[in-house]
Amino acid sequence: MNSPRPLIAIDWGTSSLRGTRLGASGQVLESREFPRGILTVPTGQFEAVFQELFGDWVQAQGALCLISGMAGSRQGWQEAPYCPCPAGFAELGQHLLWLQPGRIALVPGLSCLGTDALNTPDVMRGEEVQIFGALQLAGRDSATLVLPGTHSKWVQVHSGRVMQFQTFMTGEVFALMSQHSILGKTLDLNGAFDEATFLQGVNQSQQAGSVLHHLFAVRTLGLFDRLSAAQLPSYLSGLLIGEELHTQNVNTDSGPVILIGSDTLTQRYSLALQHLGFACQSHGAEATWAGLFALASAC
Amino acid sequence: MNSPRPLIAIDWGTSSLRGTRLGASGQVLESREFPRGILTVPTGQFEAVFQELFGDWVQAQGALCLISGMAGSRQGWQEAPYCPCPAGFAELGQHLLWLQPGRIALVPGLSCLGTDALNTPDVMRGEEVQIFGALQLAGRDSATLVLPGTHSKWVQVHSGRVMQFQTFMTGEVFALMSQHSILGKTLDLNGAFDEATFLQGVNQSQQAGSVLHHLFAVRTLGLFDRLSAAQLPSYLSGLLIGEELHTQNVNTDSGPVILIGSDTLTQRYSLALQHLGFACQSHGAEATWAGLFALASAC
């Protein structure tokens, strides 16, 4: 696949801003990263910040710029309304919000309605690009995908369309528990990752009972010297990631689970999934650039 | 039942210090409460603080003083080692830690080992007194008891002995989620308690899926204007209390579930339990005094 013109691919999230200049076959020519997530940008200043940091690239003749992530949220540059699921690549392209027609566009997020009694809505912004990018890199059009992070996403894709997804507050709960709760008093966040202890946590989370109870064990296992302060963060991590796996119907009919995220997180999810008997494969930031490149090619 | 001598009953917790002077038949003659939980007391200063605040009562001829709660923890006045379950009233009395023989004693907490593969330990301090007090007030020797709070306790008592119990971090998770997480950005903690919304949360938590996912709905139901900012805390509360109920095998064979705690919390648990078809009855601070009085009578 070739893009007809130079592409500037931007991932503008809550806490960071990353951009790449991609070549005609999607290869990364140049990258930039700034601690200028949308939370650091005053209302009305998005265009100025963008021009300051990427203006030289944008001047390049005929460059197209696609921006995914929270820049398209209500708190961002401009709100790009969510594209409702089921949604595929085509719907995403149709819902681009053009800031400069034919030149700069915001990629919309996705929304879906849960299958629960309340049809509880769920949302994502930025992950949709990674999903389509990873599927393309993996050469698949159906998969269960997991995007670990502050708010982990579990995604079901069938025949190229995102059918349903669910958000888990796993990463945020880990941070709050380890930094602000009573558990923080006994655990040592500088402890090295301990795989065996992590898997103990995963095992424990597969048992009956609530994660609200299992969490308290992080305190008592420390109090009773069953785990050291340095081991407790690994146990906590295993408990929380295991809770996701325990309550999800992991479907590998169409192939391994696809993990997309940082090395640290995808390695932990990989460990947990394989421990429970599920095959998986991982992708990192390249999924974002592949997704935006594919979208540009379809524009 | 009559205590042979005046009793000073003290509940010295993490954040508050309450005491009563009880009459010969256990009636409360006088009460005091101070914001002098153990966290406010420097090491080595417990006796001085105690004498300053209750010294006049202690001088009363022959008064016995029993102190329950976190004062008996490693961070308290002196560590009163946990009494292992199964444990009844007799074991509690035998494990009193006398600071002044025959005059002032710390009541030990209870510990138990979980039935899970790791036999995860669990602990309580202060609740054991409330449990025995409430059982006596209710005239029962077997029950499921729930003590809601920062760390809720679910307790199984059979023939007067605490057989097993589990701690849930429900109250702490509610506080962290509403004050420190992304959910805090959309919810209004000053909103009045909304019973219907609370029960929506309870219902939702009974459905399949993880509480780590259900929590995110507090954000999306706000984003999609399905619940107002003022309603969201009630929904969050219902989700978390419902999660406890969902994962516990509520046993009412021996009678209604006994709730012990503040009016605000026992009313919410009552609502949730009754909504799910379980009878319950509630006790407040009187359970503490009844428990310490019974313990004094047995000394």
CA distance A68 to A62: 20
User: Do residue A247 and residue B208 have CB atoms under 8 angstroms apart?
Assistant: yes
pTM for the predicted model, two decimal places = 0.93
What stretch of H or E contains B175?
A: helix B170-180
* ipTM computed for the complex: 0.93
CA distance B167 to B165: 7
CA distance B267 to A279: 47
Residue A116, pLDDT score: 87
Q: Is B159 on the interface with A (CB under 8 A)?
A: no
Residue B59, pLDDT score: 86
The single residue listed with the structure tokens 């339990």 is B273
How does pLDDT run across B228-254, given as a tens digit for each residue?
Answer: 999 999 999 999 999 999 988 888 888
Q: Is A274 on the interface with B (CB under 8 A)?
A: no
Instruction: Name the B residues in 91-110 with CB < 8 Å from any A CB.
Output: none
Question: Coil, strand or helix: which one is B257?
Answer: strand
How does pLDDT run across A223-266, given as a tens digit for each residue?
Answer: 999 999 999 999 999 999 999 999 888 888 889 999 999 999 99
Q: Is B279 on the interface with A (CB under 8 A)?
A: no
User: Do residue A168 and residue B208 have CB atoms under 8 angstroms apart?
Assistant: no
CA distance A101 to chain B (A): 29
Residue A290, pLDDT score: 96
CA distance A212 to chain B (A): 5
Residues of chain A found within 8 Å of residue B167, distances taken between Cβ atoms: 213, 216, 220
User: Do residue B210 and residue A246 have CB atoms under 8 angstroms apart?
Assistant: yes
User: Do residue B167 and residue A216 have CB atoms under 8 angstroms apart?
Assistant: yes
CA distance B20 to chain A (A): 29
Residue A4, pLDDT score: 62
**Mean of pLDDT values over A33-55:** 95
Q: Is A204 on the interface with B (CB under 8 A)?
A: yes
Q: Are strands A121-124 and A143-147 parallel, antiparallel or unpaired?
A: unpaired
What confidence category does residue A165 fall into, taking pLDDT thresholds of 50, 70 and 90? very high
Residues in Cβ contact with B91 at an 8 Å cutoff, skipping those fewer than 6 apart: B83
Residues in Cβ contact with A212 at an 8 Å cutoff, skipping those fewer than 6 apart: B168, B169, B170, B173, B211, B240, B243, B244, B247
How does pLDDT run across B42-82, given as a tens digit for each residue?
Answer: 999 999 999 999 999 998 778 899 999 999 998 899 999 99
CA distance A147 to A171: 11
Residue A140, pLDDT score: 96
Residue A185, pLDDT score: 85
What confidence category does residue A31 fall into, taking pLDDT thresholds of 50, 70 and 90? very high
Tell me the CB-side half-sphere exposure of residue A102, using CA atoms within 13 A.
4
Residues of chain B found within 8 Å of residue A182, distances taken between Cβ atoms: 151, 172
Percent of all residues in chain B with a pLDDT value above 90, rounded to a whole number: 86
Helix B170-180 and helix A170-180, axial crossing angle in degrees, nearest 10: 100
User: Do residue A166 and residue B213 have CB atoms under 8 angstroms apart?
Assistant: yes
**Mean of pLDDT values over A205-227:** 95
Q: Which of A121, A176, A246 sits opposite B220 (nearest CB)?
A: A121
